[in-house]
Structures are given as C-alpha cells and as structure tokens.
Amino acid sequence: MFTATEENYLKALFRLGALTEGGKGPAGTNELALELDIRPATVNGMLKKLREKGLVEQRRYGKILLTEAGRLHAVEVIRKHRLWETFLYEKLHFTWDEVHDVAEQLEHIRSVHLTDRLEEFLGYPSVDPHGDPIPDKEGRMPPEVRRTLAESEEGHAGRIVGVCDNSAEFLQYLDRLGLSLGLRLTITRHIPFDGSVELESAGIRMIITRKVAENLLVD
Amino acid sequence: MFTATEENYLKALFRLGALTEGGKGPAGTNELALELDIRPATVNGMLKKLREKGLVEQRRYGKILLTEAGRLHAVEVIRKHRLWETFLYEKLHFTWDEVHDVAEQLEHIRSVHLTDRLEEFLGYPSVDPHGDPIPDKEGRMPPEVRRTLAESEEGHAGRIVGVCDNSAEFLQYLDRLGLSLGLRLTITRHIPFDGSVELESAGIRMIITRKVAENLLVD
DNA sequence: ATATTTTATTAGGGTAGTCTAACTTTTTTT
DNA sequence: AAAAAAAGTTAGACTACCCTAATAAAATAT
C-alpha cells in the first residue's frame, strides 16, 4: 500500500505537527526537507504523489497538512516503531541509544497481524523505552502526563519517563551521568544564575545543565 | 551493503545449489528467473551487478556459481530468515503457514547485533519451525539428520521435524490432517499399489498419499 | 550436419526516489 | 514600494529495479 519512503514522509509531517492550522503550525517544503535530510526539490515531487494519494493537503506555494488518512497512517507507523523499540529494549536488551536505528527499519514491515501479536507479547505497553506514548490499534495516542525537568517546580519528586532528544550522543551522556529511564529523583533547587537544576536521587545530589534539564521528562 | 533484491538473488542461487560444479548443479539464467518469478532479461542485468560485486561467477553463456563471499551472505540471510520464523512461531504464536511471508521481510533488516541477540533470546535453536537447520554466526549449517516419510522403512518411529514444501496450501492441508511439527508417529506400512503410507500416531491410524509422504520429514 | 528449440543477451522503455541548477513566487527588510 | 532573502517549483539527470521485444549463442533433435 505505502512504500517505506512515503511512510517516512508521513512520520516527519506528524512530528512537525502538520495536523491542524493551529498547534506547532504546519510544515513547509523546506522545513520538511530539513527534517528528512532530503533536498526540497525532491520533497516537492514526493508531495505531489502524497497529494494524489489523498494523504496530504497543500495549496500551491502553501503549507502542508496531513489529511485524516495521512494522520492515521503516520500514527500506525509510529505505533510500530515504538512497539519495536520496546521489544528491542525489554526482550533483546538493547541499550537505550541502540534501539532507534533498528526500529527505523522494523517499523516498515507490513503485517497487521505482526503488530498486534507483538503488542500482545509485550503486554500492551503504553510507553516506549524513551517514554513516548504508544498509540493503540485505532490510532489513539495515550495522553502525555510528562513535563521537562526544567519546567517542574522545586521540591517535585518523580521518575524519569522520557527524553525529548533521542540522539545517541545525548543518551550516552545520560548513561555517563548515571541517569536512566525510571530513575526516581527530587528537584532540590533551580539555580537562577545559569538555569542549572540541582537534584537528588538515591541519596546522591547532582547538578545538571539547563540544556539537559530541558530534554529530560519526568512524571 | 546489499539491497534486499540482491539478497533475494543470492538466496535463490543458494536454494538452487549454485555452490560447486557438482551437487544439484549450478543454475542458469532461466532457472534463476523462474525461481525468482522475474524475467530472464532482468536477471541478466542483475547478474552483471552481482559479478562486479564479486558475489557470483559466470562465464558468458555459462552457468552461475556463488563465490565464497556470495555463499556466506546467502547463508547469513537464510540464518536471519529462520531465526525470525522461529521467533514468530514460538513467541508470537503465528501458525506454521503464516511465518514465511513476514520472515521474508524481516530477513532483510540490517543489524548484526539484532540477529545475534535474537538468536540468544530464542535459546540458540538449531532448526526453524519447518525443521530447516539454522546456520550459526560463522555460516556453518547444522547437518541434516532427516528423511522423508516416503523414504523411511516400515516400523520406523520418529517425530515430524520438517517439510519440503513450504506452501501455505500444503501446510494448511497438514493441519487439516492433524499433522503438525513435533508429532510422534510410527510407519506401519508402505502400500505398493499407489505408494501411500500407513502410519500410526497417538493411537490413531491414518493413510497419507505418496505426495504428502514425500514432503514430510521425520527424524 | 543442418534445423529446431532452448537459453542467454542486448536494446529500449517504465516507475520510484534521489540529486543539482535554474527559475518563480512569497515574505521580509530597508 | 523597491530590494533582498527565503521558500517553493520546474527541468533535466542519475541509480536501482523491473518490463517486452528482438537477437545471438548453445544445446538438442532430426
């Protein structure tokens, strides 16, 4: 039905929030090209195809919006991606930063049966190893109940449930800091000087930079 | 390194026994085209590419042989296919006849790490759900210790460990007959008239046609 | 040993997805 | 409001993989 390439375009559009006129705002050709690391001219041709398939709406020289069909398929691909990431992490003991690249391949395997059985095998997880919510079979996305560490108030206690930045670079840095998914911590202080955040976990006190705090999600 | 298409060509050549001048004998262009359900002209072009990549040897108007590099990669793909089939069957409870098509897609996922972890997760199986041997990491294929039901002598007792024909048609017919992988049975009689085989399993006596007997493997 | 059939190859064309370079339209700046 | 910058589009080319039709070589039959 859809090629892996088409699916990647849909996924990227979803990420960019090309859902309604509001929100983060719909993407343009250049923005989408940047996201996919593909030249704008190429993207332009692909958009023509996606319009003809009824997955995308776009007026000449206008912004790009996913149609309902496009949104549904994007969510389906995200569902598969996050289920596979969960499988790799929990069953095959991949590390936090190894799962993404392989899941990028696995998400394009065509078999509804496979996705549903995998979900069952994993015990119907609601979030993936990065803390991102896993959509259900009907394309419903569980609501986000997360905030970045930078936004949480002093005294707040919670667990690390996800990251905003999925790069191997960041994830490996987190490992080095001793921060991992599920870790319980308490925010002891926001330092006004440079935005650093002081926190305590398992009796150990540490300070993380503002940039790290902005990319860590807690419940 | 290799495209999914190239891998399918290598796999097909391996199946056709394009290993040495002896054996089942090396394949020709037409034979390979038939196996892949692709026109000979197309195959011809692809063979040029495989020769240039050093995966295949072929003299003009001559037979096709896999090089050592080609053989190794073919076996690697077969290894992945059979490991995934085992996963689908044992962990996701796919039926005998559902595993093949999905495994055809999964076998092309590129990640050595993934294959090795999957093998470990499955407990280093030596055969897949069809009873076919699973090559190890170094490309060694476990020896075959199987015979078709048609070849086994009267009185022989063993388990069904595989099939020669992997078609959904055949596998569904087996289900209908109540024959499944692992079933213990005893050959009670070879019927000379039409080659049928009489057997007994779990106290039940049945007769299967010669064609079925030729496609069932027992240990 | 010639004719026929089979097998292999070449020639030319198509789709999917990518690129660069040039051009047009829209938006922003001055 | 004109100039400059940014964003979007078109044109033309390339690779991978597939096709059909025609041709050449080899194998087989007469």
Structural domain includes residue A194: yes
Mean pLDDT, chain A, rounded, equals 91
The residue out of B66, B100, B119 marking a domain boundary is B66
CA A160 to CA A171: how far, in whole Å? 13
At residue A24, the pLDDT reads 62
All residue ranges of chain A with pLDDT < 70 are: 20-25
Structural domain includes residue B89: no
Tell me the backbone φ, ψ of residue B163, rounded to 5 degrees: -135, 155
Interface test with A, best of B117, B118, B122 (most A CBs within 10 A): B117
Structural domain includes residue A71: no
Question: Nearest-CA residue of chain B relative to A101?
Answer: B111
8 A C-beta contact, residue A129 and residue A166 = no
How are strands ordered across the β-sheet holding B157-163?
B147-148, B216-218, B157-163, B184-190, B197-201, B204-208
Structural domain includes residue A177: yes
B93 touches chain A (CB under 8 A): yes
Q: Which of B14, B204, B217, B203 is nearest to B107 (CA)?
A: B14
**What type of residue sits at position B76?**
E
**Domain boundaries, position A31:** 4-66
At residue B171, the pLDDT reads 87
Kindly determine whether the C-beta of residue B52 is less than 7 Å away from any atom of nucleic acid strand C: no
**Confidence check: pLDDT of B20 > 70:** no
**Confidence check: pLDDT of B22 > 60:** no
Looking at the structure of chain A, the number of domains it has is 3
Kindly list the residues from chain B whose CB atom is less than 8 angstroms away from the CB atom of residue A100: none
Q: Which of A141, A167, A150 is nearest to A218 (CA)?
A: A150
Using CA atoms, how far residue A35 sits from A40, A43, A131, B162, B166, in Å, is 11, 11, 22, 48, 43
- The reply to whether A130 and A179 lie within a common domain is no
C-alpha A144 chain-centroid distance: 12
Q: What is the mean pLDDT of residues B142-158?
A: 85
B113 touches chain A (CB under 8 A): yes
- CB-nearest to B109 from A92, A105, A117 is A105
Distance, CA of B40 to C1' of D21, in Å:
13
Q: Which residues are bridge partners to B57 per DSSP? A: B65
At residue A23, the pLDDT reads 55
Q: Which long-range contacts (CB under 8 A, 24 or more apart) does B197-203 make?
A: B197/B149, B197/B150, B199/B149
Report CB contact under 8 Å: B94, A117: yes
Structural domain includes residue B142: no
Q: What is the mean pLDDT of residues B158-183?
A: 86
Q: Which of A82, A188, A182, A97 is nearest to A127 (CA)?
A: A82
Distance, CA of A61 to C1' of D6, in Å:
13
Tokens encoding B138: 């170094």
- The reply to whether A82 and A130 lie within a common domain is yes
Other C-beta atoms lying within 10 Å of the C-beta of residue A139: 15
* Higher per-residue pLDDT: A129 or B107: B107
